[in-house]
């Protein structure tokens, strides 16, 4: 086995024991290694991996690995099929050691384990540039009973002075996340249902991605993003969310958007239309990727107190900078010829559109219509290509 790359895939209890024994022997004098990947297959979910054993793997990796470390552990099978939320396993927390030497960390943890970040004030991950954290559970708030750092403090402070990319998904027990980082360039958040407040100040942030289920719809949640170099935003945002819950400063530099738009023919809900709000507030955006969904509520002047806007009214400001658009729609969601009306109304707002690709899907088939040299609502005809899914 080469000294600069190692990959363990325990598939059964004997293999798991063998991997742990290998680490034990390696700790007695092995040289530094470049990359280490500890990955357990789904069949290993029948095998219980103790927190003590996981902590031993983490201590070894933080001491020896100098490039990238990946730990991928499935939920135990008896927990995977229990009703949500998952059962918490008693025992010590899985603890990230105080120091690490690698540039990249990816951790996919069983959600039943409590996770704790370094406690010591001297904790340092000086070389770390990329951090991916999935399924970590902070059962006692942001820190466990042991008093570990908050996640926001860990990624913001001198612990990670070179962090450029942060991906967080399926986090539990995290009510607030405040990030202050001069180096962060890419931030992705997906599935953080317990999160109530997200506050990010990152002057050099270039890519922001927030997936649809970041927040519980019934709670009063707040998102605040401050950056001076933001170039790309990807947001999946359900129409029933209040737009006022999302505040993003300094949108003038954004040139690419990836959005979900909800329309009922030519209408949309102004107070919850996050995608349309971003299109209006990003004056430099040139490329837009759109997932067009059907707003099932019938158009009226008011729906549950939300004002309905009409795209076809005269005087409505255009999306003047948009030059290209990739659109995906599920045709079976639209009723009463609303699909054509919705697409037509949207294109009316893009007078300088030059390239349009429409991917129309139903349950079994998709049609792709590329259209180039679009001027106002006139476009050259593209030949539809049929794709089986």
Instruction: Tell me the pLDDT tens digit for each residue of 45-98.
Output: 545 678 899 999 999 999 999 999 999 988 765 444 454 445 566 778 899 999
Residue owning tokens 């933080």:
62
User: Do 94 and 134 fall into the same domain?
Assistant: yes
The reply to whether 336 falls in a domain is yes
The reply to whether 234 falls in a domain is no
Q: CB-based contacts of 295: which residues, under 8 Å, 6+ apart?
A: 239, 262, 263, 264, 267, 268, 269
The reply to whether 10 falls in a domain is yes
Give the pLDDT confidence of 303-356 residue by residue, as tens digits: 454 577 787 776 778 899 999 999 998 877 776 677 888 888 899 999 999 999
Residue owning tokens 């990152």:
202
User: Do 313 and 177 fall into the same domain?
Assistant: no
The reply to whether 85 falls in a domain is yes
User: Do 56 and 177 fall into the same domain?
Assistant: yes
Position with higher pLDDT, 260 vs 79: 260
User: Do 10 and 102 fall into the same domain?
Assistant: yes
* Number of domains forming the structure of the chain: 2
Average pLDDT estimate for 139-163? 74
pLDDT surpasses 60 at 26: no
Position with higher pLDDT, 243 vs 59: 59
Among the ranges given (73-87, 125-139, 153-167), the one the predictor scored with the smallest mean pLDDT: 73-87
Tell me the two tokens of residue 336: 């009463």
The reply to whether 2 falls in a domain is yes
Give the pLDDT confidence of 164-178 residue by residue, as tens digits: 999 999 988 888 999
Most confident of 134-138, 199-203, 221-225: 199-203
Question: Whole-prediction pTM value?
Answer: 0.81
User: Do 385 and 335 fall into the same domain?
Assistant: yes
User: Do 296 and 371 fall into the same domain?
Assistant: yes
The reply to whether 19 falls in a domain is yes
User: Do 164 and 220 fall into the same domain?
Assistant: yes
pLDDT score, position 80: 46
Where a domain ends, among 229, 245, 273?
229
The reply to whether 249 falls in a domain is no
Angstrom distance (rounded) from CA 7 to CA 27: 16
User: Do 75 and 152 fall into the same domain?
Assistant: yes
Angstrom distance (rounded) from CA 115 to CA 192: 15
Position with higher pLDDT, 41 vs 216: 41
User: Do 121 and 263 fall into the same domain?
Assistant: no
User: Do 332 and 202 fall into the same domain?
Assistant: no
How many angstroms from the chain centroid is the CA of residue 226? 18
pLDDT surpasses 60 at 159: yes
Where a domain ends, among 194, 212, 229?
229
Average pLDDT estimate for 295-306? 55
User: Do 20 and 101 fall into the same domain?
Assistant: yes
Q: In degrees rounded to 5, what are phi and psi of residue 280? A: -75, -35
Domain range for residue 214? 1-229
The reply to whether 235 falls in a domain is no
pLDDT surpasses 50 at 146: no
pLDDT score, position 362: 72
Tell me the two tokens of residue 166: 């942060």
Tell me the two tokens of residue 180: 């202050």
User: Do 170 and 294 fall into the same domain?
Assistant: no
């Amino acid at each position: 086995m080469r000294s600069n790359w190692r990959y363990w895939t325990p598939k059964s209890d004997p293999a798991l024991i063998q991997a742990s024994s290998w680490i034990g022997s390696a700790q007695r004098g092995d040289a530094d290694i470049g990359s280490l990947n500890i990955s357990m297959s789904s069949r290993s979910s029948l095998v219980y991996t103790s927190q003590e054993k996981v902590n031993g793997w983490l201590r070894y990796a933080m001491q020896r690995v100098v490039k990238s470390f990946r730990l991928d552990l499935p939920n135990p099978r008896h927990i995977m099929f229990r009703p949500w939320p998952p059962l918490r396993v008693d025992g010590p927390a899985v603890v990230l050691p105080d120091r690490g030497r690698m540039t990249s960390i990816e951790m996919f943890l069983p959600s039943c384990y409590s996770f704790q970040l370094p406690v010591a004030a001297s904790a340092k991950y000086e070389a770390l540039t990329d951090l991916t954290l999935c399924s970590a559970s902070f059962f006692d708030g942001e820190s466990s009973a042991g008093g570990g750092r908050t996640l926001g403090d860990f990624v913001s402070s001198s612990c990670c002075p070179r962090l450029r990319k942060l991906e967080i998904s399926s986090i539990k027990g995290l009510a607030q996340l405040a990030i202050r980082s001069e180096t962060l360039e890419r931030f992705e958040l997906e599935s953080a249902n317990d999160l109530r407040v997200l506050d990010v100040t990152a002057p050099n942030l270039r890519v922001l991605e927030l997936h649809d289920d970041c927040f519980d719809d019934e709670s009063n949640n707040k998102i605040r993003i401050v950056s001076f170099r933001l170039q790309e935003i990807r947001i999946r945002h359900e129409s029933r969310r209040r737009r006022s819950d999302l505040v993003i400063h300094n949108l003038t530099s954004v040139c690419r958007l990836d959005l979900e738009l909800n329309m009922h023919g030519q209408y949309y809900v102004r107070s919850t239309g996050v995608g349309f709000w971003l299109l209006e507030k990003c004056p430099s955006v040139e490329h837009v990727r759109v997932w067009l969904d059907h707003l099932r509520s019938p158009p009226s002047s008011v729906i549950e107190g939300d004002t309905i806007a009409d795209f076809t009214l005269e005087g409505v400001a255009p999306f003047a900078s948009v030059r290209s658009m990739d659109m995906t729609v599920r045709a079976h969601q639209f009723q009463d010829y609303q699909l054509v009306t919705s697409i037509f109304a949207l294109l009316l707002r893009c007078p300088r559109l030059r390239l349009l690709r429409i991917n129309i899907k139903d349950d079994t088939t998709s049609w792709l219509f590329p259209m180039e040299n679009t001027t106002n609502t006139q476009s050259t005809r593209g030949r539809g290509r049929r794709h089986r899914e």
